[in-house]
Amino acid sequence: MKFDTPATTNPIDRLKVVGQPLDRIDGPHKTTGTAHYAYEQHEAAPNHAYGYIVASSIPKGRIKGIDLTRARRAPGVLAIVTAQSAGKLGKGKFNTAALLGGPTIEHYHQAVALVVAETFEQARAAAALVKVDYARTSGAFDLRAAVASATKPKDEKADTAVGDFAGAYAGAEVTFEGRYTTPDHSHAMMEPHASIASWTGDKLTLWTSNQMIAWGAGDVATTLGVPKENVRLIAPYIGGGFGGKLFVRSDALLAALGARAARRAVAVTLPRPLIFNNTTHRPATIQRIRIGATKDGTITAIGHESWSGDLPGGKPETAVAQTRLLYAGANRMTAMRLAVLDLPEGNAMRAPGEASGLMALEIAMDEMADKLGMDPVEFRIRNDTQVDPENPERPFSQRQLVQCLRTGANRFDWNKRIIKPASTRDGRWLVGTGVAAAFRNNLTEKSGARVRLDARGRVTVETDMTDIGTGSYTIIAQTAAEMLGLPVDRIDVHLGDSSFPVSSGSGGQWGGNSSTAGVYAACVKLREAIAQKLGMNPDDAVFEDGNVRSGQRTESLTGVAKGGDIVAEDSMEYGDLGKRYQQSTFGAHFVEVGVDAATAEIRIRRMLAVCAAGRILNPKTARSQVIGAMTMGAGAALMEELVVDKRLGFFVNHDLAGYEVPVHADIPHQEVVFLDETDAMSSPMKAKGVGELGLCGVAAAIANAVHHATGVRVRDYPVTLDKLLGEMPSLG
């Protein structure tokens, strides 16, 4: 099915099941331990052995030799894989660095060997006996130092310019320039990367924790040099990904190689201390923002530049993305520059681009509002645009940023705010509030599904879509139930298997809308097949209350497939509505913080997010997405930072004791409001993404609240107490 004209009324609009706050249907499996994750597929892959990764102890250089003598002799060892023994390997389309290093070493903790043994403990003990002789070469590890050598990235829309930015900025009545930095971030998902591989002849089955099954199957095949049809990926449950599992990582490749070498199924997980340097991360940025405006706060010039680094062949963090679309202004420029760094591979993490970009832009907007003497909510509203400001003939499909800001301000009692910073005290706490706009583009991706009505009148949905904790199982069941007029408990959903139709996968907050639209397409076909079977006219058949009705005739869905399953498969593809209309999601974050007057410890007191993201398919799972994202934003604002040792070339704090993420005590009451909207340009579901929107802008709202509480402006994340102490009021 092709979606190339705006959606009109369709069965989803009945909203008997879709749009309802259903509990997630996979919840009981998760709470009873019957949801088996990749590393727990002991029944599917009986008698599997364990592989343990040996990781590079240098950040850059080459392997001169590997001595495996002692490791081979260690108890329980079945096989050892190195780049030398693995044979020729390709490189996946989505990987920058090789997943198995050697002889060249590209980054710290790059995998250089896998030791396979009977037990995990034996594999780990033997891995410690592998002796690698390295020749270390010097590398670039300091983004600030590498800025001068940064170049314009090749494959990206690196620069944009409209009007005369330089002239307009120079001539503006009020100008502001700010420089901001964001550090490298780790996804820090709960479930570590893990895979179990099993070969039958030349066919590989890989149970793995991966967000994008088709990409993964393709890259495993490419890397191993085998036909894609020989690779089956299975990922029924995924314990979080945040972009860290968009791509095949070393656990999957080495499990496959280890299983081939040991002639046994092999399980490989990445120990937590390995994840931070072995896998990908959100790259650090240095950003420069310039805003020129008239005295009444109308932006006349807006410029945003960003520098980031990556391994050779890598990509920039697209931190200027939102600045191209978020605010009006006749004269504008954006630019990205990419430096070569020999740190681990930078890549996508939840809301890549916008998350980092808004951390800077939304402080800059606050600073500019300060300079103009304007309320920061009003300043943003004054510069709203209903069209793509770089391309004004392109309207937004739906844009309720102003309504988000107004609704939020109202609910948060924003009008009672004392504008002057450092004016509110509550006991030991200096109290302040901050706001930021939330913005994230809505992407639509082709997505397919197969649906089957069986003799019991149950419907089974199969798609290689993944549920990374987001609620995919539930919204897909709701979609099928709505389309077929069935209760949700008559729908069975099977996900995450490359033998199922290719879906959008989970990434870029496109999964919710795109995967359900694919299920919609398949259900339209199934409805036609059912109507045809019953001799009804598909165009006037109504699927309702477990029955199909056409004219005076009503048939129960329980009986239709008595003679054999009725199966339909289709996918949803997209025309050019995404080009003709700018599709984005919007929100506003409001935060209140307390800053300890003595110690400058920052604690969040209240959080509110107002989101406009099309139809909300399930308000309960959507809210969970947003409060999780707000929590991630709190981490980005206040504590998360991969600390780079610029001499030794690695992320130093590579465990969850050193890389702090928020704990329960850090998170206060979180309120989430969804504006009631539908977007007919997005898909027949009229939904958009929400999982990344919830993160976008949170950190800046917190940083702005800290400034409002203390009068101290921190422009380098995370906003930690040491950056405030020097300017905190004297204690007398």
Partner 1 sequence: MKPFSYERATSPAAAAAAAARTEGAKFIAGGTNLLDLMKIGVEEPMHLIDLNGLALDTIEATSDGGLRIGALVRNTDLAADQRVRRDYGLLSRALLAGASGQLRNKATTAGNLLQRTRCPYFYDTNQPCNKRLPGSGCAAIGGSSRSLAVIGGSASCIAVQPSDMAVAMRVLDAVVETVRADGQTRRIPIADFHRLPGARPHVETVLERGELITGVTLPKPVGGMHIYHKVRDRASYAFALVSVAAIVQKDGSGRVALGGVAPKPWRDEAAEPYLPQGAKIFTAHLLANATPTGENAFKVVLAERTLHAVLAEAKGDAS
Q: Which of 12, 105, 597, 616 binds partner 1 (CB under 8 A)?
A: 597
Q: If we measure between CA atoms, which residue out of 509, 545, 539 comes closest to residue 524? A: 539
Sheet containing strand 61-67, edge to edge, reads 104-105, 61-67, 131-136
CB of 120 to partner 1, least distance (A): 10
DSSP characters over 651-713:
ES--STTTS----GGG--EEEEEE-----TTT-TT-B---TTTTTTTHHHHHHHHHHHHHS--
Distance (Å, rounded) from C-alpha 241 to C-alpha 692? 12
Find the shortest distance in angstroms from Cβ 148 to partner 1: 23
> Based on CB atoms, which residue is closest to partner 1, 44 or 721?
721
> Hey, which residues between 40 and 59 contact partner 1 (CB under 8 A)?
57-58
Q: What is the nearest approach in angstroms of partner 1 to the Cβ of residue 425?
A: 7
CB of 730 to partner 1, least distance (A): 10
How many residues sit in the footprint of partner 1 (CB under 8 A)? 45
Question: Does residue 727 interact with partner 1 by CB under 8 A?
Answer: no
Instruction: Select from 4, 67, 121, 229 the one that contacts partner 1 (CB under 8 A).
Output: 121
Out of 305, 601, 692, 727, the active site residue is 692
Q: Which CB atom, from 141 or from 473, has the smaller least distance to partner 1?
A: 141
Q: Which residue of 246, 638, 681, 714 would you call a contact of partner 1, by CB under 8 A?
A: 638
Whole-number Å distance between alpha carbons of 43 and 263: 18
Instruction: Map the footprint of partner 1 across residues 599-628, applying CB under 8 A.
Output: 599-601, 603
Which 243-282 residues touch partner 1, going by CB under 8 A? 271, 273
Q: Are 216 and 241 in contact (CB under 8 A)?
A: no
The distance of closest approach from Cβ of residue 412 to partner 1 in the complex, given in angstroms and rounded to an integer, is: 22
Under DSSP, the state recorded for 582 is B
664 binds partner 1 (CB under 8 A): yes
Q: Which of 384, 645, 671, 716 is in the footprint of partner 1 by CB under 8 A?
A: 645
Q: Which two tokens stand for residue 163?
A: 């009007």
Candidate list 63, 68, 530, 728; residue touching partner 1; CB under 8 A: 728
Question: What is the sign, positive or negative, of the torsion defined by CA atoms of 311, 312, 314, 317?
Answer: positive
| Least Å from the CB of residue 428 to partner 1 | 6
Contact string 398-437 vs partner 1 (x = CB under 8 A): ---------------------------x-xx---------
Site string for partner 1, 689-718 (x = CB under 8 A): -----------------------------x
Closest residue by Cα to residue 332 from 386, 400, 393, 391: 391
Q: Confirm or reject binding of residue 598 to partner 1 (CB under 8 A).
A: yes
Q: Does 654 bind partner 1 (CB under 8 A)?
A: yes
**Beta carbon of residue 284, minimum distance to partner 1 (angstroms, whole number):** 15
Can you tell me whether residue 240 is helix, strand or coil? coil
Q: Which of 481, 639, 681, 712 binds partner 1 (CB under 8 A)?
A: 639
Distance CA 305, CA 289 (A): 6
Site for partner 1 in 64-103 (CB under 8 A): 75
SS3 call for 112: strand
Other Cβ atoms within 10 Å of 725 Cβ, number: 12
Q: Is 368 helix (H, G, I), strand (E, B) or coil?
A: helix
Q: 694 near 611, Cβ under 8 Å?
A: yes
- Closest approach, Cβ 710 to partner 1, in A, equals 13
| 110 three-class SS | coil
Considering only residues 666 through 685, tell me which ones interact with partner 1, judged by CB under 8 A.
666
Amino acid sitting at position 225? G
Residue 396 vs residues 353, 388, 393, 498: alpha-carbon distances, Å: 19, 7, 10, 35
Residue with tokens 């206040």: 638
Active site includes 692? yes
| Contact of 102 with 60, CB cutoff 8 Å | no
Instruction: Classify each residue of 658-677 as buried b or exposed e, where b means 16 or more C-beta atoms within 10 Å of its C-beta.
Output: ebbbbeeebeeebbbbbbeb
Selected binder of partner 1 within 124, 446, 458, 549 (CB under 8 A): 124
**Closest CB to partner 1 among 128 and 170?**
128
DSSP class of 324: G
Q: Assign 16 to helix, strand or coil.
A: coil
- Cα(478)–Cα(484) distance, integer angstroms: 10
Which lies closer to partner 1 via its Cβ, residue 177 or residue 660? Answer: 660
Q: Work out how close the CB of 704 gets to partner 1 at its nearest, in angstroms, rounded to a whole number.
A: 19
Residue 33 sits in the site that holds partner 1 (CB under 8 A) = no
Closer Cβ to partner 1, 148 or 665, answer by number: 665
Asked whether the CA dihedral 606, 178, 289, 370 is positive or negative, the reply is positive
From 79-87, 124-132, 232-240, 316-324, give the range in contact with partner 1 by CB under 8 A.
124-132
- Residues numbered 293-312 forming contacts with partner 1, rule: CB under 8 A: none
The residues annotated as belonging to the active site are: 692
Residues that bind partner 1 (CB under 8 A): 57-58, 75, 121, 124-125, 128, 271, 273, 425, 427-428, 596-601, 603, 638-639, 643, 645, 647-648, 652-655, 657-658, 660, 662-666, 718, 720-722, 725-726, 728, 731
